Amino acid sequence: MKLTWYGHSSMGIEVAGLQLLIDPFISGNPMAKGIKVDEVPATHVLLTHGHGDHILDAGTILKRTGAMLVSNAEICDWYTAKGIKHTMPMNIGGETDMGNCRVRFTMAQHSSTMPDGASGGDPGGFVIFTPEGNFHHAGDTGLMLDMQLLKRFKLKYACLPIGDNYTMGYNDAVEAAQYMGVSTVVGMHYNTFPAVTIDVEKAKAAFSAADIKLLLPAIGESIEL
């Protein structure tokens, strides 16, 4: 499968004939100026929670592409009221089919308010089961023991926040990876703005000391996983 990083926690995953787009925050990210929002492909837009730095471009991309919105019920309802027709409302612990893949909405320890102050339900993450292996996008979360439950899904890799302050930092992300039993991590939610700025070399060293591969693609870069 091909993963394209769009900065912050935004990524596109091309797998099994689908174009999954997770947490699109592109037009508000000065570091992602090179990405053309009106060309980002999506068959499914997956939103982990309601914060602006995860949903900013979701509405325009959903309208342009007619993609299916996959999120918790509150966020799906919020978009339905804005005219988005195709939604798959979920909640924590549930799974459903998404074309040739299957998606599970997992727990996150965070908050989830929509930009207008409406409830964004409980924040979450996703496990995506694909014919090319399973992966996890954790959304925004602190370290939690519940991550141990993900080990049974034999994840090929996990996308984990490493930027600290609003989420876990890289040391906790190493522990999260160990809880999940993953040996490859795509780092996210770091260096976008001052509060999440980290020393990347120290992050690499922390993962390397635990014998876990930390992938930090450039914005706009695609990697095979």
Q: Does 57 bind Ni ion (CB under 5 A)?
A: no
Q: Give the H/E segment covering residue 174.
A: helix 170-180
Integer Cα distance of 223 and 30 in angstroms? 22
Q: Which of 23, 57, 122, 140 binds Mn ion (CB under 5 A)?
A: 140
Site string for Mn ion, 51-70 (x = CB under 5 A): --x-----------------
Q: How far is the CB of 110 from Ni ion (least distance, A)?
A: 6
Of 108 and 185, nearer to Ni ion (C-beta) is 108
Three-state SS for 47-97 is CCCCCHHHHCCHHHHHHHHCCEEEEEHHHHHHHHCCCCCCEEEECCCCEEE
Binding-residue total with Ni ion (CB under 5 A): 2
Residues 162, 177, 174, 195: what is their CA dihedral angle, to the nearest 10 degrees?
10
Q: Does 74 bind Ni ion (CB under 5 A)?
A: no
- Only segment of 33-41, 48-56, 71-79, 195-203 that touches Mn ion (CB under 5 A): 48-56
Q: Does 172 bind Ni ion (CB under 5 A)?
A: no
Strands 68-72, 44-46: pairing is parallel
Integer Cα distance of 83 and 66 in angstroms? 11
Q: How far is the CB of 131 from Mn ion (least distance, A)?
A: 30
Q: How far is the CB of 196 from Mn ion (least distance, A)?
A: 8
Q: Does 23 bind Ni ion (CB under 5 A)?
A: no
Q: Which residues bind Ni ion (CB under 5 A)?
A: 51, 140
Q: Which residues bind Mn ion (CB under 5 A)?
A: 53, 140
